[in-house]
């Protein structure tokens, strides 16, 4: 993987969405054909021999590479969304945020016990959304679950939000 290429094209925005936060904007990686191909090629090589049958993308930036990777792997794609966005019967997981709670949902029939699942999102910070997504997927009792991010903010200890033994991979640690 060409980390230098990705880092050179990753935009940082200070004080967004609130003062004191340095926001890592992956949209600049997606708008570059070279970076997008680099990300997709790297993820494909990493997961092509792992028996994945479904990729779960977390709303909304996780949809971009998640869907592209699912197509490249020749497997199904599942959207993990905020409440009220999915039309059929759903299951959900609620999780704590800094101020209050939030919820993530998938269709009830999206994953079953025969699936090997890769859950993908753009960024691991504190891990709250992905940990809830992981718990949600586990309700469907898949054979195995992998987790992947483009970026991990190393100093925020997001991996601590997951049970021991969960396989978490990131492309860039910042």
pLDDT digits (tens, 9 = 90+) for 84-137: 999 999 999 999 877 789 999 999 999 999 999 999 999 999 999 999 999 999
Contact 48, 76 (CB under 8 A): no
Confidence of residue 146 (pLDDT cuts 50, 70, 90): very high
Question: How far is residue 19's CA from residue 12's CA, in Å, rounded to a whole number?
Answer: 14
pLDDT in the model for residue 116? 98
As annotated, the active-site residues are 61, 98
pLDDT at residue 143 tops 90? yes
- What pLDDT, on the 0 to 100 scale, is given for residue 41? 98
Q: What structural domains does the chain harbor?
A: 51-173 (3.40.50.2020)
- What integer pLDDT is reported at residue 97 of this predicted model? 78
| Contact residues for 89 (Cβ-Cβ < 8 A; gap 6+) | 107, 108, 109
Task: Report the helix count and the strand count for the chain, using DSSP H and E.
Answer: 5, 9
User: Which pLDDT score is estimated for 129?
Assistant: 95
Mean pLDDT (whole number) for 16-24: 93
Structural tokens at position 84: 């009220």
Q: What is the pTM of this model?
A: 0.96
Q: Per-residue pLDDT for 28 more than 90?
A: yes
Per-residue pLDDT at 100: 81
| Share of residues in the chain with pLDDT > 90 (%) | 97
Q: What is the pLDDT of residue 86?
A: 98
Among candidate residues 61, 55, 58, the one with its CA nearest the CA of residue 23: 61
- Asked whether residue 48 carries a pLDDT value surpassing 90, the answer given is yes
Distance CA 17, CA 29 (A): 19
Considering the chain, what is the average pLDDT of its residues?
A: 96
Token pair of 134, please? 């992981």
Give the model's pLDDT for residue 7: 98
What CA–CA distance (Å, rounded) separates 174 from 155?
A: 8
Place of tokens 């704590």: 96
Quick check: 69 pLDDT over 80? yes
């Amino acid at each position: 993987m060409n980390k230098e290429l990705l880092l050179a094209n990753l935009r940082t925005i200070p004080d967004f969405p609130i003062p004191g936060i340095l926001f890592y904007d992956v949209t600049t990686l997606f708008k570059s054909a070279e970076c997008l191909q680099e990300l997709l090629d790297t993820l494909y090589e990493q997961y092509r021999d792992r028996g994945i049958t479904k990729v779960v993308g977390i709303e909304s930036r996780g949809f971009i590479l998640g869907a592209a990777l699912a197509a490249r792997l020749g497997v199904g794609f599942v959207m993990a969304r905020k409440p009220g966005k999915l039309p059929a019967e759903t299951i959900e997981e609620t999780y704590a945020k800094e101020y209050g709670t939030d919820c993530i949902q998938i269709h009830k029939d999206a994953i079953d016990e025969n699936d090997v699942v890769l859950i993908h999102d753009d960024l691991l910070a504190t891990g709250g959304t992905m940990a809830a997504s992981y718990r949600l997927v586990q309700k469907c009792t898949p054979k195995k679950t992998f987790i992947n991010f483009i970026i991990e903010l190393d100093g925020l200890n997001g991996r601590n939000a997951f049970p021991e033994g969960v396989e978490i991979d990131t492309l860039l640690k910042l």
